[in-house]
Amino acid sequence: MRKKERERLKDFGRGDDGKMAYLGDHVRLADGQDRGRLLRALWAACGAATLATLAASLANPAGLSGCPYVVMPYMLQFVAMVWVLWGMGRLSVAGERVRVYVRDATVGALPLRCVAAAALALVAAVGEVVFLALSGAAPAAADFAFLACEAVAVVALVALRRLCLATTWQPC
């Protein structure tokens, strides 16, 4: 186990009933923020980014047909989106009172995950533009659809990142 994972084990111990329980700190949203409203906003941004990422592959542009500098960043973007979805799902099931280590692993980590996914989307889009410039062929509608989907994914990921960074927590 990594050191950080071992540190959180000290927050577990025997509860009043003799069973293992979490004895560490909990946090909740500060200033009376509505958890449901926050989750709806986070999921809207996350859903838009996920749908745009999936739609980009369904557009089937020429660059995704074996061009490594388009395919590799797109596949890594797809993996990064799964990483973002995992964090969102974990935050959604955490409840009103969230364990500190869960907050750190979800809302604390989502901004970096969003930056990674957005950067990979931009790299894939630039790769598609380079592919089109080098191929000399006229861009098809699928190529424009791919670029538009990647732009939507970047905008949605930036919105998700901003929402995560704007969320404040207080001990409870």
Q: What's the DSSP call for residue 136?
A: -
Task: Map out the domains of the chain with their CATH numbers.
Answer: 26-171 (1.20.120.230)
Geometric angle at alpha carbon 52, from 48 and 54, rounded to 5°: 120
Dihedral (Cα; 127, 55, 41, 90), 10-degree rounding? -90
Token pair, residue 76, equals 């890594």
**pLDDT at residue 2 above 90?**
no
| Element (DSSP H or E) covering residue 124 | helix 110-135
Indicate the SS3 state at residue 42. helix
43-67 per-position pLDDT tens digit: 999 999 999 999 999 998 988 888 9
In the chain, what percentage of residues exceed pLDDT 90? 69
| pLDDT tens digits, one per residue of 153-170 | 999 999 999 999 999 999
- What is the predicted pLDDT for the residue at 55? 96
pLDDT tens, residue by residue, 77-128: 999 999 999 999 999 999 899 988 889 989 999 999 999 999 999 999 999 9
Rg (CA), the chain: 20
